[in-house]
Structure 1
Amino acid sequence: MNAQVQNLLLSLGAMQLARKIPFDDPEVLLYARIGYAASQLLILGVYYYISSVIKKKNDTTVLKYVEPSNPMSPKEGGTLTTTTNRDYDLAETTKLVRSVYLGIAMMTFLHLYMKYTQPLFIQALMGIKNLVDAKPVAIHLRGKAAEGELKRPFKAGGMFGAASDPQTDKAAIDQAEKKAGKKEE
């Protein structure tokens, strides 16, 4: 099942479960806040640990791929990206850390300003699920091989599988190199 569909089903189930929790009780609310904060700290700690593992491995294998073009941009074709596995994994982990910080900022607004309490519970569960599903975690923490779904560059899955993924075939890379060569001249 697609990760986005799993997230949707988990959030719907968590919403139903959160309705049964008495958040108007100050003690329950305190435990929900502690649980949310603990889950976010755990997630950030794991991501920072993954970053240190990536830096320690220092995998300098060259990774070339063509990023898909923005469908809203009039420019045709994608751009060639040349990096290393280390830098790519660090960039992906940084994206994950940024998404956690954005989620914390949104939750702070929703909870402290708007006085919503149920999202504390839901986002704590969703954060843990996203941590388990993260590809850098699978590769560097759980020791899975970087092949199949975990092959770099990672595929960006859309809601129903409709996503423009990076191209790694030799023809696309050669074409992007030629296009980049023409621009430089």
Structure 2
Amino acid sequence: MSSPLANPAVTNLLFSLGAMQVAKRLPLTDEDFIVKLRIGYVSAQVLSLAIYFFIMQKIKKKNDLTTIKYVQPASPMSQEKGGLVTTTVKDYDLAETGKLMRGLFIGIAFMGFLHVYMGYTQPLFIQAIMTVKGVFESKPAMLHLFNKKAEGDLSRPFKTGGGLLESLTGNTAGGVQTDAASIKEAEKPATKKDL
């Protein structure tokens, strides 16, 4: 069993708590400082998007057409059924990077609501740091920026890192299935329907 400190959810929580302590000491009532904080936040988001676009360009340049097969579980939040997914490394990595970019836009929208509508300024500081940290800790960044090998946690398809509770209890059940028996079982209904 790996250490809970190795889980990004735990490190993000600890990092956030530390950043909140630093943010308490910032002059968050000074208008000049708030303008600088906004510029810093927007710069962090632009930098994050630029890194994701750079990663996408590297993925396209590598053009790895190795086939990946896995069984996607049914989503508990939708009517969609899970099933066999056949894709390439290139398409998979582009899709995963796209998901991360969508998450970035959702975060920007949420931060806009918190800052503009609710008037909170402290989250600007914390999220500026956390966003860039998250980009560099992402699996596509590990593979395509830092040239780590696609093994263990970085093997495709990526295992969804459980949240804080799962990391502390060791319960990481669920997720995609990559074993040959599951893939073969998922292929059976597909071939029967085609006949």
TM-score, length-normalised on structure 2? 0.88
- How many angstroms does 1:163 deviate by? 4.6
Task: Report the aligned-residue RMSD.
Answer: 1.8
> Structure 1: how far apart are the matches of 2:43 and 2:180?
45
Q: In the TM superposition, what are the counterparts of 1:58-137 in structure 2 within 5 Å?
A: 58-71=63-76, 78-137=82-141
> Structure 2: how far apart are the matches of 1:179 and 1:167?
16
- Asked whether the equivalents of residues 107 and 120 of structure 1 are also in contact (C-alpha less than 8 Å), the reply is yes
The C-alpha deviation readout for 1:80-137, integer Å capped at 9, x for no partner, is 0000000000000000110111111111111111111001001011101111110001
Match of 1:46 among 43, 51, 59: 51
> Structure 2: how far apart are the matches of 1:53 and 1:27?
39
Gap runs ≥5 in structure 1 = none
Alignment match, 2:14: 9
Gap runs ≥5 in structure 2 = 1-5
The C-alpha deviation readout for 1:16-47, integer Å capped at 9, x for no partner, is 22111111101211111111111111100000
Q: In the TM superposition, what are the counterparts of 1:157-172 in structure 2 within 5 Å?
A: 157-159=161-163, 160-161=166-167, 162-172=172-182
Aligned length: 184
1:20 maps to 2:25: yes
The C-alpha deviation readout for 1:157-182, integer Å capped at 9, x for no partner, is 11124352211111110000002223
TM-score, length-normalised on structure 1? 0.93
> Structure 2: how far apart are the matches of 1:95 and 1:126?
17
The letter of the residue matching 2:10 is V
> Structure 2: how far apart are the matches of 1:136 and 1:121?
25
The letter of the residue matching 1:88 is Y
1:37 maps to 2:47: no
For 1:111, what is the secondary structure of its paired residue? Answer: helix
